[in-house]
Amino acid sequence: MPQVTPDYVLLQVFNGLVNGGFYALLALGLSIIFGMLRIVNFAHGTMYMLGAFVAYYGAQEIHLPFFAALIVAPVIVGAFGLLLEVTLLRRLYGLDPLYNLLLTFAIVLVLEDLMRLAAGALGSPYETPALLAGVTNLGFTEYPAYRLFVIVVSVIVCGVVYFVIERTPVGARIRAATENPALTRAFGIDTSRLVSATFAFGVGLAALAGVLAAPNTNVTPTMGDSVIINTFAIVVIGGLGSIAGSIVAGFALGVIAAVGAVVYPPISNTLIFIVMVLVIMFRPAGLFGAAERAA
């Protein structure tokens, strides 16, 4: 173990915020989708992977700069998600959400394999953008500039999404459609368009996380596999459907896992699941879950 000093712990907090940023973005997207559509999107990790690959192919084929990819990838993957929702997921809305969970599971199998055929299983190279390469001095340690960028972007995006959903008229409509679709429709609001747009948006958030991940982690077709289970856990801890819950739980669990690795390393990879089980046992609605509406 590296020396456990206050500086080291602070360093771990920063690392935790980076990981937490990813968790938050992914959990946010998943939570929004669940809140609106009651779909547990098993393919969320796959959308994350697609975001990274759009960035990769963009860079390969048209020299798409990283900063442009941050916008382009979510749009493209969001549009793809829209397509999936309209053609496939929509058919099962009248049924038990179980079926859409399983359908998204099948989608994972197909998409991951297709990607593997296209890109190979070994990993595709993606470089840290030159502007963000290198370390900055934080005072107590040197820290890669790119990681700071990830923290900043994830905090800003989460903050903006929270603001939009909780404080704007558009957000109010989304919340209304989530709470009571029939009544919302009675007010003349086209809920099905709202639903599709929401799904595309949630998926776009996952893709954004994927682009952010590309410079730091190996871009492979199965990279989504390693995030999806953790994301489920975060969403449950925060409260299914709760925006604030996903954000807070994401960052918090990222930091807790990182600091936990200092205290007792072997536990760090299972900490999230242990916390999740405890939350379900003692506070099933999640930390921020609202009082549940009738099924």
Partner 1 sequence: MIAGRRGALVGVALLAIGLVLPFVPGVYIVFAIDLVCFALVAVAFDMLLGFTGLLSFGHALFWGGAGYVATIAIAHGVTSFPLAVVAGAAYAFVLSAAVGAIAVRRSGIYFAMITLAIGEIQYFLAFQLDDLTGGENGLSVTTRGTLFGLSLENDRVYYYLVLFVAVLGTAFALRVANSPYGAVLAAMRENESRAKSIGYDTERFKLGAFVMSGTLAGVAGALYAIANRLASLDAVDWHTSGTIVMMTILGGIGTIYGPIVGAAVFQSLDFFVSKTAIGDKTNIVMGLVFAAVILVARRGIVGELLRALAPRRPLPLQDDDLPGALVPDPS
Partner 2 sequence: MNTSRFCLALAAASAIVLPLGAPLGVAADDGPIKIAVITDMSGVYAALSGQGAVEATKMAVEDFGGKVLGRTIEVDGIDHRNKGDEAAAKAAEAYDGGAELALDMTNSATALAVAGVAKQKHKLAIVTGAGSSAITGASCNRYTYHYAYDTYALASSTGRNIARQSDGKTWYGIVPNYAFGTQMLADFTAALEPEGAKFIHADMIPLGNTDFSSYLLAAKAANPQVLGILNAGADTVNTMKQVKQFGLDKQMKIAVGLLFLSDVDALPDVFSGSRITTSWYWNEDKPSRAWADRFTQRVGNGVRPTDIQAADYSATTQWLNAVKAVGSVDADKVQQYLDGHQFNDFYAHAAEWRARDHRVTHEMYVVDVLDKSKIKEPHAWFKIVQVIPPSRAFRPESQSKCVKDW
Binding site for partner 2 (CB under 8 A): 1-3, 8, 11-12, 15, 18-19, 116, 120-125, 127-128, 133-135, 141-144, 146-147, 215-218, 220, 226, 258, 261, 265-269
114 belongs to the binding site for partner 1 (CB under 8 A): yes
CB 178 within 8 A of CB 241: yes
Query: What letter would DSSP give residue 60?
Result: H
- Least separation in angstroms between CB 83 and partner 1: 14
Which member of 98, 131, 138, 152 binds partner 1 (CB under 8 A)? 98
Q: For partner 1, which is the closer residue by CB, 43 or 211? A: 43
- Least separation in angstroms between CB 168 and partner 2: 35
182 phi-psi bin (left φ>0, alpha ψ -120 to 50, beta other): alpha
CB 233 within 8 A of CB 62: no
Write the interaction track for partner 1 spanning residues 40-69; mark x where CB under 8 A is met and - where it is not: x-----------------------------
122 belongs to the binding site for partner 1 (CB under 8 A): no
- Nearest one of 97, 104, 84, 86 to 41, comparing CA atoms: 104
| Dihedral sign (CA 68, 224, 28, 252) | negative
Binds 136, which of partner 1, partner 2, none (CB < 5 to 8 A, cut-off by type)? none
Binds 268, which of partner 2, partner 1, none (CB < 5 to 8 A, cut-off by type)? partner 2
- Nearest one of 103, 102, 124, 104 to 115, comparing CA atoms: 124
Task: Give the CA angle between residues 151, 7, 269 to the nearest 5°.
Answer: 60
Binds 60, which of partner 1, partner 2, none (CB < 5 to 8 A, cut-off by type)? none
Q: For partner 1, which is the closer residue by CB, 114 or 160? A: 114
Which member of 79, 91, 156, 160 binds partner 1 (CB under 8 A)? 91
- Residue whose tokens read 């536990």: 267
109 belongs to the binding site for partner 1 (CB under 8 A): yes
- Whole-angstrom Cα distance, residue 155 to residue 137? 21
135-138: list long-range contacts, CB under 8 Å, 24+ apart.
138/14
Write the interaction track for partner 1 spanning residues 223-242; mark x where CB under 8 A is met and - where it is not: ------x--xx--x---x--
- Whole-angstrom Cα distance, residue 278 to residue 257? 15
- Nearest one of 255, 259, 247, 229 to 286, comparing CA atoms: 247
| Residues 139-198 contacting partner 1, CB under 8 A | none
- Nearest one of 194, 231, 229 to 209, comparing CA atoms: 231
CB 250 within 8 A of CB 202: no
Q: For partner 1, which is the closer residue by CB, 58 or 289? A: 289
> Which residues of this chain interact with partner 1, rule CB under 8 A?
38, 40, 88, 91-92, 94-99, 101-103, 105-110, 112-114, 117, 229, 232-233, 236, 240, 266, 269-270, 273-274, 276-277, 280-281, 284-285, 291-295
